[in-house]
Structure 1
Amino acid sequence: MGVRALVVGGGISGLAAALRLRDEGLEVTVLDAGTRWGGKLAPVRLGDLVLDGGVESMLARRPEAVGLADEVGLGDRRTTPTQASPRVLVGGTPRRLPPSLQGVPTDPAALRPLLTPTGAAYAEGEPDRPAPPLPGDVAIGAYVEERFGAEVTDRLLEPLLGGVYAGRSRSLSFEAVAPALFEAARTGGSLAAHARASLRPGAGPVFAGLVGGVHGLADALIGRLEERGVDLRLRTTVTALRRERAGLIATVATAAGEDGSTELRADVVVLAAPAPAAARLLAGVLPSAGPLDALGDVPYASVAVLSLAVRGLAPTDSGLLVPPGELPTVKALTYSSTKWGWVGEAARSAYGDDVAVLRVSVGRAGEAGVLQVDDATLVRRSLAEVSTLPGWEDATLLDATVTRWGGGLPQYGLDHLGLVGRLRTELEAVPGVAVAGAYLDGVGLPACVASADAAVAKVLVDLGGRIDVRTSQEPAGER
């Protein structure tokens, strides 16, 4: 029997890790407690259309996710957004977004249309304001408020980060959310100048997608894993992990319809499950409690994506960001048929020229109550809110579907990267066990794939000479 690997979790991190392990010649089993593969790479049907119900894009300027798509045969389906750009809702009016790096302004003077005269005056004084070096991690929203004023945090940073993390910027770790900019800020000086210096003009599109939907990446990965003989098991929960002389042993709850549990033996295990589940399983193999309590307490935000087909709506923008306080429920709109050429073509084919297909994002950290209604009520409330926006006067809903992500997005609190570092240090003393997932280094697809690559590299080194260890020399790229 060859070297056996067990991957716990069938999202993008787990599937990517499984492919890498199989490439190295290991016998691989992937277990997931859910009913489908792909995690937040999920299709949703809207009438005759199949769209993304979860992640809809990936960073194009990092190599991991786009490289993986190419590797599994999706290179000819890669696409980029149209030239349409989003706006932000301020005082009930959609306004053009000023230039920024993840919501941190690069040109304070360009903020004027978003701010009151008093707020604009304070923001424009940022380059001349004293800025001593940062001694350690801070909340990014609080620091941006200190540098530019509360209006900039509320009207620019908050809606941009809210769309990525579903979090509150005044609670999110600067070091974890924007590590490169944080390192620059640690030296002191103008934050606007640091953000401007971090931009990469002419580097090409920031985001990429796949014609037919990014969920196609999960489908292609599953197809490749099946071709390679990987054992794939859904509806299967790992309840415990321990080490014996024979290796690592996972206690597995059997598939639905069967009783009891069984044990699987493995030489290496990659835990690509959310933080609380990973903490529970690691308790059986870590030599000390270490960071497990903090890991198990990593908070997650619940969100929902409403996919809508609307007649009588002709958006020219790619979307609308909604700061907290502007609308009670909705935090963002994505006009998918304007943003993505393939969605626009599919929408015209299915509905005609006068129908827009869009996504409505709902849910932020600390707002679970917003989601505690049935789908019909959530659609009705959201539609009532957006119907007050310019351009919606003659809009008529044709189709709607709701995709819910309970506990979907990890929240990076202060010193989050310190926690991750301590966890990985503890795991150095645990041969054959590694972790991967969105709670580690970033919630985007490239960061998840990079975490899978790092996990596989770790367990291969642990195996030493037992197999031919081949680790990638490609640089990880920016977060």
Structure 2
Amino acid sequence: MRRVAVVGGGISGLAAAWELVSHPDAVGSLEVTVFDAAPAVGGKLALATVGGVTLDVGAESMLARRPEGVALATEVGAGDRITHPARVSASIVSGGRRWPMPSGTLMGVPSEIDRVRGLLTDEEADRAAAERISPVHGDVSVGDLVDARLGRAVTDKLVEPLLAGVYAGHSREISAELAVPALAAAAREGRSLVATARVAAKAASATATTDTPAPVFASLVGGLGTLPGLVVDALRAKGVEVRTSTTVRRLTRRGDELVLVTGPTTDEVDHVVDAVVLATPAAATSRLLRKEAPGAATALAGIRYASLALVTLALEGKPTDLLEGSGFLVPPTEPLTIKASTFSSVKWPWLAQAHPGRTVLRASVGRAREEHVLQRSDAELVDVALGDIATVLGRRLPEPVDVHVQRWGGALPQYEVGHRQRVEVARAPLPGVHVCGAAYDGVGIPACVASGRAAARAVLEQLAAPGEAVREQPGPLGMM
């Protein structure tokens, strides 16, 4: 019997555990245990009931054009619950008003300059049209790259709000190589960023019919926060033990085996395993590796995280009577505290159908190094959200019938310039230990699923008998 521990019950760890038990013939019989310090698995996928409506208070969608997240949902029996946002446009706030979200951008870089006139002044648009092309050497930030090529206005008004929605960070710190690799490649090769965005837009449109564009995002009816529970049910059906409220405090090596230590110092429990997948945030992983892999621990300790809060508001009334569009993004140049608002009952048809007389929307607060904003009380954050939304809409909304504030401390890793080198050091060979999660290969749900499954396959390769390889599986399992 080979024993494997997965530390961390977010979607990365759950995907790793699922991959391990999806190859029962690869290494013979496996005993897989998932440890999570929280009372429930799921990490940043979570549900709450607000005004009688159960909905996401964490991540609410995943990229549909990248298959790993949708594939995992399908494999655990939720294929018939996959849903997509309504075809309702969002907007960007600039100069105190909302502008339609430009189509055909690559993380805010326009494919057609004329499409962003208005949002950009004529002078700013003309500057962007006169792109200054010169090769770039080494990794640079997204914002610095776009500043130099297209002008600061494109960064401030287009790139910043979109990147903030992904990383809750600042574009002039986020690595272009990792956040937008197509732009980084164009910069290295001396090609136009606008032309690169145009190629990406054409590629996206080529996958759709004229009448029905391919959905960009997906979720599940009932909320994306239902996915972790479905994975856990599928894991337990395959004999996996999932232990919540169990903190792994130490990881040590004992000969060819690894020992995980849980429990209080007065009553420690050793768990001896053959391999470990660490699917914990960078700081927690760093602490566990400090003794056995100090170089990797130091690299991981240098990864910064952004904290944020999600304010959910439930209003009486039909969504169509209260709101227009699916929400808006706010650049940091605007005199507002929130960085985005999602009109959930407009965006998700399943939610409107389940609760036709109630309108739910949410606002996100917090960017990297703006922890002071989150030091407000829950009531203050609600007031800030209501005030900022009223400013953008030009009118106040009805008094909420219920509110909910979800704080996510250390929610999103910052892929700062040089991040790839940190990750390479963090993944330096440590026999039997493999890492995965949002800190390494992407912060979105599909990227996390892929990261977890890749770590699991590395475990399976390690445990396979000499000369044997894990057989490639058809379908999504082969898309690693």
C-alpha separation in 1, matches of 2:14 and 2:476:
21
C-alpha separation in 2, matches of 1:397 and 1:450:
39
* Structure 1 residues 4 and 221: CA distance shift in structure 2, 3 A: same
Q: How far did 1:472 drift?
A: 4.4
C-alpha separation in 2, matches of 1:91 and 1:391:
13
Matched, 1:245 2:249: no
Q: How far did 1:473 drift?
A: 6.2
| TM score, norm. by length of structure 2 | 0.92
Counterpart secondary structure, 2:465: helix
Q: How far did 1:189 drift?
A: 1.8
Partner in structure 2 of residue 454 of structure 1: 454
Aligned partner letter, 1:150: R
Q: How far did 1:476 drift?
A: 8.8
Counterpart secondary structure, 2:363: strand
Identity %: 47
Partner in structure 1 of residue 216 of structure 2: 206
Higher alpha-carbon deviation: 65-74 or 467-476: 467-476
Partner in structure 2 of residue 121 of structure 1: 126
CA offsets 1:176-225 (integer angstroms, 9 cap, x no match): 11123322332112111012112321431111111110011111011111
* Structure 1 residues 161 and 341: CA distance shift in structure 2, 3 A: same
Counterpart secondary structure, 2:189: coil
C-alpha separation in 2, matches of 1:149 and 1:86:
24
C-alpha separation in 2, matches of 1:234 and 1:295:
24
Pick one of 150, 153, 165 that aligns with 2:152: 150
Which ranges of structure 2 fall in alignment gaps of 5 or more residues? 25-29, 208-213
C-alpha separation in 1, matches of 2:137 and 2:170:
22
C-alpha separation in 2, matches of 1:282 and 1:70:
34
CA contact (8 A) 1:133 1:187 kept: yes
Partner in structure 2 of residue 168 of structure 1: 170
CA contact (8 A) 2:277 2:433 kept: yes
Q: How far did 1:232 drift?
A: 1.2
CA offsets 1:420-470 (integer angstroms, 9 cap, x no match): 12332x12xx22210010000110011001101110111112123178733
After superposition, residues 88-103 of structure 1 pair within 5 angstroms as 88-99=92-103, 100-103=105-108
Counterpart secondary structure, 1:30: strand
* Structure 1 residues 105 and 411: CA distance shift in structure 2, 3 A: same
Q: How far did 1:471 drift?
A: 4.5
Counterpart secondary structure, 2:205: coil
Aligned partner letter, 1:410: P
CA contact (8 A) 1:13 1:272 kept: yes
C-alpha separation in 1, matches of 2:261 and 2:144:
44
Pick one of 287, 301, 307 that aligns with 1:302: 307
Q: How far did 1:310 drift?
A: 2.6
C-alpha separation in 2, matches of 1:262 and 1:475:
37
Partner in structure 2 of residue 108 of structure 1: 113
Aligned partner letter, 1:174: A
Matched, 1:230 2:235: no
RMSD over equivalenced CA pairs, Å: 2.0
Aligned partner letter, 1:399: D
CA contact (8 A) 2:461 2:469 kept: no
Higher alpha-carbon deviation: 146-155 or 413-422: 413-422
* Structure 1 residues 283 and 474: CA distance shift in structure 2, 3 A: farther
Higher alpha-carbon deviation: 266-275 or 291-300: 291-300
CA contact (8 A) 2:182 2:196 kept: no
* Structure 1 residues 293 and 474: CA distance shift in structure 2, 3 A: farther
Matched, 1:322 2:330: yes
Which ranges of structure 1 fall in alignment gaps of 5 or more residues? none
Aligned partner letter, 1:462: Q
Partner in structure 1 of residue 63 of structure 2: 59
Partner in structure 2 of residue 82 of structure 1: 86
C-alpha separation in 2, matches of 1:134 and 1:104:
17
Counterpart secondary structure, 1:434: strand
